[in-house]
């Protein structure tokens, strides 16, 4: 079965990621997990930090939503709250990347931390 990821694991994985980044995009403007040079999006870096592979540049699912990628590649390895937290980060980082905000990752990480706090308190 391998590792089972919780929201605590995700929160620990984002701590060491830069705030001053944007997600890689295709020529069509789609945010992707991996670009041609092997750079990852925020959620791609989280997955790698947790010990998982992410879709490569030429994989058909390189721009799929995180819940779809997890369902296809790691269906039994993530708690549903961890998937939700990753989805929040992905949506925020993608949106801010499209707005050309150089702090896309930092603001996405902030949203993830806020959701984490709410989840722990609720």
* Model confidence pLDDT, tens digit, residues 75-119: 999 999 999 999 999 999 999 999 999 999 999 999 999 999 999
Mean pLDDT of 43-72: 96
Predicted confidence at residue 120, as pLDDT, reads 87
Predicted confidence at residue 52, as pLDDT, reads 96
Predicted confidence at residue 2, as pLDDT, reads 75
Predicted confidence at residue 109, as pLDDT, reads 98
Residue 1: pLDDT over 80: no
Mean pLDDT of 33-44: 96
Rounded CA gap, 53 and 95, in Å? 24
Rounded CA gap, 80 and 13, in Å? 17
- Average pLDDT score, the chain: 96
């Amino acid at each position: 079965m391998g590792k089972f990821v919780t929201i605590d694991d995700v929160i620990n994985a984002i701590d060491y990621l830069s705030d001053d980044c944007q997600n890689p995009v295709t020529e069509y403007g789609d945010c992707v997990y991996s670009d041609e040079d092997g750079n990852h999006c925020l959620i791609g870096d989280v997955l790698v930090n947790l010990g998982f592979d992410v879709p490569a540049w030429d994989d058909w699912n390189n721009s799929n939503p995180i819940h779809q990628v997890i369902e296809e590649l790691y269906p039994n390895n993530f708690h549903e709250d961890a998937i939700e937290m990753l989805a929040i980060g992905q949506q925020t980082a993608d949106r801010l990347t499209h707005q050309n905000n150089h702090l896309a990752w930092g603001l996405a990480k902030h949203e993830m931390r806020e959701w984490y706090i709410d989840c722990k308190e609720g």
